[in-house]
Amino acid sequence: MYINFESIWIYLKLLQEYFRNILQWFHRSKGSKNLNGKVVVITGSANGIGREMCRLLNRFGCHLAMIDIDHFTNKELASNLSSSSPSWTKTIAYKCDLTNLDEIDLIVGQILLDFDHIDILINNAGYVNCKRIGSLSQDEIRRTFDVNILSSIWLCKQLLPSMIENREGHIVAISSIAGLLGNANLVDYCASKHAVIGMMKALELELDAQNLNFIKLTTICPLMISTGMFRKLHTRFQWLYPILTPESVAKSILDSIVREDFLVTIPKHCRIATILESVCPRTLLKMAMKFLQYNCGEH
């Protein structure tokens, strides 16, 4: 009788990894990544989650390259952070329209001149319309994809060489639960956020194939957040499917970066919904979503 020991070993390793991930889901470690002195590029830094992330990263002693189209607010925040941070840290605000790839190229070049290298890229900038698909214009759809996914791909392409040369890096992408489950009045937004998840999964495999595992990836999928982007939010059970605050989401993102998690839902228990989606009939899921009344009204 022929026994393929290599196959048995692979199956055992898969089982080990499976149960390790289950244990980690119930008991997540605090992580050991040291952020002090790291150079962080973050998009959408002037407001919302990005603003809160900058404040937290500043407390950890990070150098910040803050990218936003709202230059006045962004520059004001950078100035405030600089005045409260150690003298050896750099905090610089950059104005950039993320729908313009030429502008992104120029900003990346300037950032690499100002900071020499990049340790962490946080693709946080987002755009949403909150309209039914029939009400969306071509420009609105294009802008959604330009900001939410195409700029992320372009920034990864431009900044990966610096991480590879430095033999260290971490790319963080802000997706959404809506990118996993979908939501009415958010067709273009959900599609773009689903693309973010696909990009990060593919990038992980591509880096792994090149033995570049020292570059870590983290994809964040929060529920909807009260940042002003979503103005007509509703949930039937705040304790189960809450409307999140930028402060709580920013803290969860930072914790996930330190732990080097790959895919994170905020709150954590929402991961169960994504698992159920793959095994339950679609009609049952739609009934559950109607019952929960978790939605964003058209505006």
- Domain of 268, CATH number, reads 3.40.50.720
Label residue 86 by pLDDT band (50, 70, 90).
confident
In a domain, 168, yes or no: yes
Euclidean distance between CA atoms 233 and 131, whole angstroms: 13
CA–chain centroid gap for 231, Å, is 21
Q: Looking at the predicted structure, is the pLDDT value of residue 279 above 90?
A: no
In a domain, 217, yes or no: yes
Please give the positions annotated as active site. Answer: 189
170 within 8 A of 212, measured Cβ to Cβ: no
What's the residue count for the chain?
299
Position 112 scores a pLDDT of: 97
Burial class from Cβ neighbours inside 10 Å (0-12, 13-18, 19+) for residue 275 reads: exposed
In a domain, 11, yes or no: no
Domain residue limits at 250? 31-296
In a domain, 167, yes or no: yes
Q: What is the mean pLDDT of residues 25-45?
A: 82
In a domain, 163, yes or no: yes
Contacts 24+ apart (CB under 8 A), 136-143: 136/187, 136/188, 140/188, 141/188, 142/99, 143/99
In a domain, 7, yes or no: no
- Which region among 80-89, 141-150, 236-245, 256-265 has the lowest average model confidence (pLDDT)? 236-245
Q: Could you tell me what percent of the chain has a pLDDT over 90? A: 67
Helix (H, G, I), strand (E, B) or coil at 169: strand
Q: Which residue type, as a one-letter code, is found at position 209?
A: A
In a domain, 145, yes or no: yes
Label residue 264 by pLDDT band (50, 70, 90).
very high
In a domain, 6, yes or no: no
Total number of domains constituting the chain = 1
Q: Looking at the predicted structure, is the pLDDT value of residue 184 above 60?
A: yes
Q: Does the bond joining 242 to the residue before it have cis omega, within 30 degrees of 0? A: no
Q: Looking at the predicted structure, is the pLDDT value of residue 21 above 60?
A: no
- The structure tokens listed for 138 are 């071509």
Query: What's the pLDDT tens digit per position in 107-152?
Result: 999 999 999 899 999 999 999 999 999 999 999 999 999 999 999 9
Q: Could you tell me what percent of the chain has a pLDDT over 70? A: 88
57 within 8 A of 64, measured Cβ to Cβ: yes
Q: Which residue has the higher pLDDT, 271 or 204?
A: 204
Euclidean distance between CA atoms 26 and 20, whole angstroms: 10
- For residue 119, CA distances in Å to 55, 155, 164, 223, 242 come to 18, 13, 10, 27, 33
Position 113 scores a pLDDT of: 97
Q: What is the mean pLDDT of residues 146-159?
A: 98
